[in-house]
Every structure is written in structure tokens, then in C-alpha cells.
């Protein structure tokens, strides 16, 4: 719990820093000596300034993705832009003799809203995408945090052909299992990764033994490369939905080489999966 508490503090600190770095553009400086160009994700349909000492020009007859701003000395004002798709952008505009920036590339995320009402289905789709993005951000931050922690396990190892596959940690957080994996290539040949998969393996007793493998789709993969270079090692984090297994089952981690035969399998018991951390 103490480790998780420290991570949460670090996470919210990072979120605050990122939020500060990605604040919406709110002030644009212009003068009467140079054109300041504003580039938008959709064609400009309308541009309005609050005072006459600011002029925003754009092509009315032919759709274009940019407009030009000029200013004369005077009080600050505001600039309102509406794109063809109805997205609204609003800025404070200020006269300044010396300009440090002449081109502004504005993304859709800078929009303050849309003049067209969005239907409920559209709102639900936007909300779903927003939730997914937030989850991926959390997965990424927590995975990066786990890679900074010392390994917990030393017994979950398989090695063959100078390739070593090991699991260093399994952590349960919220509704997910985070599994820290290490691949070491101690050979003189690069290892091209075909896939790294988790399966739930059912072991059946009797004379006619049979195995059934159920693939576990990860929610998120962090730091997984396509190639592990010779004499190099990589550490990866897989995020899986929370699950548990009975003693008749085990989890298999399978590493497969692309266009090669240096394949490894690592077995994880039900005790390890059911009792992470």
C-alpha cells in the first residue's frame, strides 16, 4: 500500500505538469509590420475580431485552412474563429512591436466547443474515447513506475539458445494485473520478436493427456520492442484484466522468434497468479 501511495502522488504530479504543458493557446500577439498566420485543422468559415485595430483575413471564396492576423497599436481584444465543421476557437489578441512567433498550428483539441449540438450517440462515443485515453495514460505511467522498482521474483525463468525469459514482478492494481517481463539476448545474433503471448493452460490427467490453451489478450503493452539486439536486454510490462485460476491450471508465457526457432515457454503457477504483490 505504501508503494502504491507513493506512485499515486508521483502520478498526479506528472498529470499536473502535463496539464500545464498542454494548456490551450489563449493569447496571440500581432503587429502591423508582419502577418501572423493561424493554421486550423479544418477550413476557416468565419473570423471576427472585437476591435478595429485588429484585422483577421481569410479566403471567403475558396476554402483554406489558415487566416492572417495583423494589429495596430491599441488595447487588447479578442478573436473568434469558426471552422467549417462548426468548431469554435477563441483567443485574446494583443499588439506587440516585436514578435517572437509568426505561425500558430492549432489542433482540434484547442476548440472551446462547437456551434452545432452533438447528439447523445456522439457524446457517448466521445466519452468512451476519453475514458480509453485516460486508462492508457494511467497504464503507461504505472508501467513506467514498475520498471523503476527492483525485481520481486527470481524463480520464474526459462533459458535456451542463450536467450533468457523471466518474470520479475506481478502487481495487482485496480482491476488489472501488471506483469513485468525481461528478455535477455546473450547470443551474437539479434532476436526478432514474433510474439509474446499469455495463455491459460488446462492440464488434464489420465492416460490420454490433453492440453487446452486460452489466449489472454493484454489491455496494454509497455516498452515492447520488435528486436532484442545481441548482448542486450529489455524489460516489458503487460497489463492484463484481473483473473484467477484453479490449481488444475497454469499460465504459460510464450516467446516466439520471427523466422527462427529460439522459442521459450515460461510456466506460472496458480499460486503466483492468485497472490500477486
pLDDT (tens digit per residue) in 47-101: 988 888 999 999 888 889 999 999 999 888 889 999 988 899 989 899 999 999 9
Answer whether residue 175 shows pLDDT above 60. Answer: yes
With cut-offs at 50, 70 and 90, classify the pLDDT of residue 252: very high
Which overall architecture, per CATH, does domain 157-274 show? Sandwich (2.60)
> Where do the structural domains in the chain lie, given as residue ranges?
22-117, 157-274
> 3-7, 66-70, 153-157, 163-167: lowest mean pLDDT where?
3-7
Topology adopted by domain 22-117? Immunoglobulin-like (2.60.40)
Instruction: Tell me which DSSP letter residue 163 carries.
Output: E
How far apart are alpha carbons 49 and 32 in whole angstroms?
A: 15
Average pLDDT, the chain: 83
How far apart are alpha carbons 16 and 19 in whole angstroms?
A: 5
How far apart are alpha carbons 60 and 42 in whole angstroms?
A: 14
Answer whether residue 24 shows pLDDT above 60. Answer: no
22-117 and 157-274, same CATH topology = yes
**Residue 60: its pLDDT value, please?**
81
Mean pLDDT of 145-173: 90
Of 37, 34, 40, whose CA–CA distance to 71 is shortest? 34
Answer whether residue 246 shows pLDDT above 50. Answer: yes
Amino acid at each position: 500500500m505504501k508503494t502504491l501511495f507513493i506512485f499515486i502522488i508521483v502520478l498526479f504530479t506528472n498529470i499536473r505538469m502535463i496539464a500545464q504543458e498542454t494548456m490551450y493557446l489563449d493569447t496571440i500577439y500581432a503587429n502591423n509590420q508582419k502577418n501572423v498566420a493561424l493554421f486550423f485543422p479544418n477550413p476557416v468559415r468565419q473570423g471576427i475580431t472585437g476591435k478595429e485595430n485588429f484585422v483577421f483575413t481569410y479566403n471567403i471564396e475558396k476554402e483554406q485552412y489558415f487566416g492572417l492576423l495583423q494589429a495596430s497599436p491599441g488595447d487588447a481584444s479578442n478573436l473568434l474563429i469558426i471552422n467549417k465543421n462548426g468548431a469554435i476557437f477563441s483567443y485574446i489578441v494583443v499588439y506587440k512591436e516585436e514578435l517572437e512567433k509568426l505561425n500558430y498550428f492549432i489542433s482540434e483539441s484547442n476548440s472551446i466547443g462547437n456551434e452545432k449540438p452533438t447528439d447523445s450517440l456522439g457524446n457517448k462515443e466521445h466519452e468512451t474515447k476519453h475514458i480509453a485515453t485516460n486508462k492508457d495514460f494511467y497504464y503507461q505511467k504505472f508501467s513506467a513506475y514498475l520498471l523503476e522498482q527492483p525485481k520481486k521474483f527470481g524463480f520464474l525463468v526459462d533459458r535456451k539458445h542463450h536467450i533468457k525469459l523471466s518474470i520479475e514482478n506481478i502487481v495487482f492494481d485496480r482491476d488489472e494485473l501488471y506483469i513485468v517481463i525481461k528478455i535477455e539476448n546473450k547470443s551474437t545474433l539479434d532476436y526478432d520478436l514474433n510474439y509474446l503471448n499469455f495463455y491459460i493452460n488446462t492440464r488434464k490427467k489420465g492416460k490420454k493427456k490433453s492440453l487446452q490453451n486460452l489466449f489472454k489478450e493484454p489491455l496494454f503493452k509497455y516498452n515492447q520492442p520488435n528486436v532484442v539486439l545481441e548482448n542486450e536486454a529489455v524489460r516489458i510490462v503487460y497489463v492484463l484484466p484481473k483473473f484467477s485460476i484453479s490449481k488444475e491450471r497454469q499460465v504459460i508465457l510464450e516467446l516466439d522468434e520471427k523466422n527462427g526457432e529460439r522459442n521459450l515457454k515460461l510456466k506460472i503457477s496458480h499460486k503466483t497468479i492468485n497472490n500477486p504483490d
